[in-house]
Structure 1
């Protein structure tokens, strides 16, 4: 086995034990510092979840880390950890970044755009159908989707962050909030009509009634210190303590049957102002009443509350003077409203809780309370449900967003594969090869690199190895379909051409270096060409660089992203040189060196090139034709090969071949190929027999 092939296998084996340690979980003090006042961190519930309390110490929701609940691998293969706070109705209070290894944010764009993206969750709810992207062609209203502005050049990373937040939040909702329904709630069907009056409302259960006698409420307080604190109840046990009627006024047909025309007009104005509110009519004909003496209009009543699905429903006074329709019970009437956006579904059963209180003592009375329940549901026929917009999977959303780019990439790749496959000899013809190659490299730099952000990186390779070892999903690769397509082409190239397809034709930074080489030739700068011995030694550095990255990832995983900056790709391609000066200086060094040293970084130091060489072991054929006279005696191709990829024997060292096709062009050119030239000078002799590519 050759020395090069042994080194390739050794580097491959070195990658196998790659299993970086996880970052330590943040201490409670760090989490507390991130909680937005007036909320405070409560007790820990396990799995990175804490109770959230308000300024009065009452439960106010949950705070949780996303990494333990939804460890979706980020673009580097490691989960993005965020701190999310939810209120009891599933509304987002805040979302903050804890730790991540997303390469574009670590030392590319910086974390500021990432943190700004997370600020968009404030005020949203897990009931919202949220997508990352711009609502092209849509107006400001009427859409069932909530669009979150992404981050340019980092769409894949923020999509992963978005899916992580939703997955973790829904898990908390299911396990801690006892089943929040994330489907859109029903809303009144304004076109549904049927003849109704109060008698029909009562007969059909559209008006629910809760009747409690004095004797029944007395029984609730029997045996307590409040048992004798209501003399009226003991004097008139059969009289009504509570005679409460409940009607959902959302459906117009029901509202017309329950309200007088003047109140209907007020209700219509309320619908215009607050279209998401569900109006609820309460009529109390007993002596309990609906509100206490300190009640303020347009606030929540203190004696009645509601819940649905085990979670509270926020009620608020609608501040409407109520006049009921003929036939309705006499009593105190008020209209409350519940916000459907907070998860209240009027077509699903919910419960109205009515609190009855008693006081014992004169100066500092002790308050006793009991609760009576009134379940209610309005039939589905009075409502319509918004069409459930099923957001595309992250992979499909990313695919749709890049459909045009992917189509152009497919055309480019098809043309390139055809040129290197069946059209190889025509592509390598003198007069065709140079313009073809420079044109292809221009597309690679401008379209694949700067526009499409298809620069592959060793970071993805290391992330994929980490994902495989830890048994997680490779779905993070789907968030960047453009880059995945380039990876697919590179892997196909392994089988057909070894490393040559990507390193020679599809690497944007490699293309920049080749352009630098041509610029140096045009400027007539002296060229550095290491001796064969030094060239061989320097080519080993890229394997050492790969091994070093693996070693850092094992011993100090928190520094692996910084170490990966050995690749200048992020600076030159991803951020287009908009970075800190030292990163720009590093990338510029290699490009300036390329003026006098042909593709020095690619040949000698690129760890991704080492990975590509390992992948090239899958190559199933020797695709560059050779003759028996190649290498003995002819050495022209070897002398002309700028990559030093042709051995003295004339054979091709495919682990170092970039597929520039210069040797193919010479091989087929009767004016340059020495064996063909000599044969032309010796009439009568058969032409040199080529050794066909396998």
Structure 2
């Protein structure tokens, strides 16, 4: 207990005494070392490290800047990924180069080469394009306006942070140095504005705008191309309507009530409560064009539809809402798209919606071609309010939605596990199937939580949070991995209910792998090696010493944090599935092999995250393992059976070392194992009969 309190004091002193380091731009000389030929730096443009970019002959080539001072989104090490961006005067990326990063997956997992290859994709791309990290749905993205950047397997969250940093910094420079973007914060619907409106009112006031395209107009647009004869229906009926589109911004409640029925309006309001920064846009198409292609997937960006405002793209995404229209609204295919106002969309400024008409030529390997039709729309400012300043909110919501299914399954698993352990722990420990049940849960943790969900918690997150605290930075990097964040939340809840045992005993994928290794050792009848009680206590202090060293490293030499974090074999065994350099694989394999001879030695003696969990367990609110006066004196059965050495000779539970395996709970409640219960079941001992002696009779 005293050792753990000492580490709390050490952590507090580290946070207080650590240097307050904020993101400062590199010096001109430092930045020039990263510049590719033939560029040089010109005059500085501001105090955030933005320079004019000069080409051969002194020609103005655009701008050069770092991402960290302009868009300091922290990565999983707690520090931003810093990149050099070269942007031409038209907003086209000339180059993006890595300056510095400490992302654990790239430091010693996949290597920096994977990140550098990802950054090479930006050259030639425009910030006016809808750049998306990922892959298009379906076999062909024909006609889609989205520009896809190939992500990095097992590092999706990290490259998304890099992408958001690049785009955030580039748009910041564009807004300041280039024409086309409004610097005013975007307006948002006024919830207090009430106005009775009908569909006819919306049309008359241009709150609903219409685009009609005939078959003849489509044919004329494709004339002279490979696809001019690939729409027989248009050729047969030139006066027929090909596209009949209505566009309505339904963010303002008064407008939404005019176009949606009561249930649809209520569904929209529920959506806006969850996503208050999204502007919903209603599209209704009643002709033969439709709104999306056959490869479209709900809750993704529409493949045939794009938008722009002020020359810059507007990110659109299906809101995935089910609704019906009001009776007087034109019938047709309807969908609600959403766009995030925080990314610059201003609903009261004129914006343009584009729809692609896509044709395919050929049968076996068709070639796709497209043309665009556009319609301008703006909503009257009486429905909106404009904030004084835009709140800088990290783009965490898409990360959460991208893992929606995983999050639901994980939440169900965690809720079920916590519920059973809290309300039915004794029944669970008492069932004869307890061991198969426990091993099934641990197998699920390895497969789903670890390998699939990449939810292995790590000391890196703790040190990254410490570094963010010391540097005065943001903790937003935690939101980019909502899957792990949910496990953290439940682990912290477990501190109060059980101490460290919930995570270390049930939710740690590498801990589960060690437990399976132990069972394999028993099946193979390998010898079991156990230190004496005194040495067991000494060895358990190692993890606290390692934790202290890592805290000191995070404060005094933050650049070495990722190197010392390799004490954990988690990245090798879980994140990369043993696909790493041989010495990392050998290190992880050593601990698993050792687990066959010695029960979970890494967890008990070395794991710095386990030390953090043990310290956090000091907030445990109760002694949840029942004890009897006979426990420890004379009964020693639970102590002997405890694989973790978490029970003292006097019978007390050392909760800082308890992994919640429930073995002692099973013994305590079993009248066939617990010695005091076994003795209590025995009938009272009767004294044997003795014949009275003559002396006794005389007396």
TM-score under structure 2 normalisation? 0.67
Following the alignment from structure 1 to structure 2, what is the Cα–Cα distance between the partners of residues 470 and 36? 31
Alignment check: 8 A CA contact 2:470 2:555 kept: no
Cα separation, partners in 2 of 1:40 and 1:15, compared to 1, 3 Å:
closer
Alpha-carbon distance in structure 2 between the residues aligned to 1:152 and 1:182: 37
Partner of 2:525: 524
Does the 8 Å CA contact 1:65/1:84 hold for their aligned counterparts? Answer: yes
CA distance in 2 between counterparts of 1:123 and 1:387 reads 31
Structure 2 residue 385 is matched with structure 1 residue 384: no
Structure 2 distance, partners of 1:78, 1:591, is: 32
Q: Answer whether contact 1:96 1:118 (CA < 8 A) is retained.
A: yes
Over residues 630-683 of structure 1, what are the superposed CA-to-partner deviations in whole Å (9 max), with x where a residue is unaligned?
Answer: 112211101111111112221211111000000000001111000011111135
Whole-Å separation in 2 of the counterparts to 1:430 and 1:190: 68
- 1:8 touches 1:613 (CA, 8 Å); kept in 2? no
Alpha-carbon offset, residue 16 of structure 1: 3.1
1:42 corresponds to which residue? 42
- Is it true that 1:136 corresponds to 2:127 in the alignment? no
Partner secondary structure for residue 82 of structure 1: strand
Query: Aligned equivalents of 2:77 and 2:13: distance in 1?
Result: 19
In the alignment, what sits opposite 1:534? 535
CA gap of 1:269–1:665, structure 2 versus 1, over 3 A, is same
**Residues 580-599 of structure 1 mapped to structure 2, 5 A cutoff:** 580-599=581-600
Report the equivalent of 1:677.
Answer: 678
Q: Distance in 2 between matches of 1:682 and 1:467?
A: 65
Q: Take 1:173 and 1:632, find their aligned partners in 2: how far apart are those partners?
A: 76
Question: Cα 1:483–1:18, aligned 2, differ >3 Å: closer, same or farther?
Answer: farther
Moved more, 661-670 or 17-26: 17-26
Q: Deviations over 1:287-334 (max 9, x none)?
A: xxxxxxxxxxxxxxxxxxxxxxxxxxxxxxxxxxxxxxxxxxxxxxxx
The verdict on how the C-alpha distance between 1:344 and 1:616 changes in structure 2, with shifts beyond 3 A counting, is: closer
Distance 2:158 2:351 in 1: 44
> Once structures 1 and 2 are overlaid, which stretch shifts more, 548-557 or 92-101?
548-557
For the pair 1:149 / 2:145, whether they are aligned, the reply is: no
Counterpart residue number, 1:175: 176
Tell me what 2:624 maps to: 623
1:102 — aligned with what? 103
SS at match of 1:107: helix
Residue 424 of structure 1: aligned partner: 425
How far, CA to CA, are the matches of 1:380 and 1:445 in structure 2?
A: 49
Unpaired runs of 5+ in structure 1?
Answer: 194-251, 253-263, 274-339, 346-377, 686-694
Structure 1 residues 35 and 519, CA, compared in 2 at 3 Å: closer, same or farther?
A: same
- Deviation, 1:418, is 2.2
Counterpart of 1:660 in structure 2 is 661
Counterpart secondary structure, 1:64: strand
Shift of 1:81: 0.3
CA distance in 2, matches of 1:181, 1:414: 46
| Pairwise CA distance, 1:192 | 7.6
- Deviations 1:187-234 (CA, angstroms, capped at 9, x unpaired): x998589xxxxxxxxxxxxxxxxxxxxxxxxxxxxxxxxxxxxxxxxx
The 5-angstrom pairing of residues 150-299 of structure 1 reads: 150-178=151-179, 180=181, 191=212
Cα distance in structure 2, aligned partners of 1:271 and 1:628: 90
| CA 380–342 in structure 1, closer or farther in 2 if over 3 Å, else same | closer
- Whether the 8 Å CA contact 1:11–1:546 is kept in 2: the answer is no
Cα offset, 1:268, TM superposition: 6.6
Aligned equivalent of 1:113: 114
CA spacing shift, 1:14–1:455, aligned 2, 3 Å: farther
> Would the aligned equivalents of 2:310 and 2:351 in 1 still touch at CA under 8 Å?
no
Q: 1:57 aligned to 2:58? A: yes
Shift of 1:124: 1.8
**CA deviation digits over 1:127-176, x for unaligned, max 9?**
22223222324852443433322111111111111111111111111222
Q: What is the correspondence of 1:564-583 to structure 2 with a 5 Å cutoff?
A: 564-583=565-584
Conservation of the 8 A alpha-carbon contact between 1:18 and 1:465: no
- For 2:438, the equivalent position in structure 1 comes to 437
In structure 2, relative to structure 1, the CA distance for the partners of 1:182 and 1:110 (3 Å cut) is farther
Tell me the CA shift for residue 29 of structure 1.
Answer: 5.1
- State how many pairs are aligned: 511
User: Residues 22 and 459 from structure 1, CA distance in 2 versus in 1: closer, same or farther, beyond 3 angstroms?
Assistant: farther
**In structure 2, what is the equivalent of residue 463 of structure 1?**
464
For the residue of structure 2 that corresponds to 1:89, the secondary structure is: coil
Q: Is the 8 A contact 2:445 2:508 kept in 1?
A: yes
Alpha-carbon spacing, 1:419–1:554, altered in 2? closer, same or farther (3 Å) = same
DSSP-derived class of the 2:144 partner = coil
The alpha-carbon distance between structure 1 residues 487 and 342, as it changes in their structure 2 partners (threshold 3 A), is: closer
Query: What do the CA deviations read for 1:511-554 (whole angstroms, capped 9, x no partner)?
Result: 11111111111121111111111111111111100100111222
Indicate the SS of the match to 1:627.
coil
2: CA distance between counterparts of 1:266 and 1:114?
Answer: 42
Corresponding residue for residue 636 of structure 1: 637
Q: Deviations over 1:399-426 (max 9, x none)?
A: 1221121122122212211221111012
2:500–2:656 CA contact under 8 A, matched in 1: yes
Q: Give the equivalent residue in structure 1 for 2:361.
A: none
* Equivalent residue, structure 1, for 2:448: 447
* Alignment correspondent of 2:328: none
Matches within 5 A, 1:479-490: 479-490=480-491
The residue number in structure 1 matching 2:8 is: 9
Partner Cα distance (1:517, 1:674) in 2: 27
CA distance in 1, matches of 2:685, 2:447: 51
Other-structure match for 2:206: none
Q: 1:123 to 1:387 in 2, by over 3 A?
A: farther
1:54 deviates by: 2.9
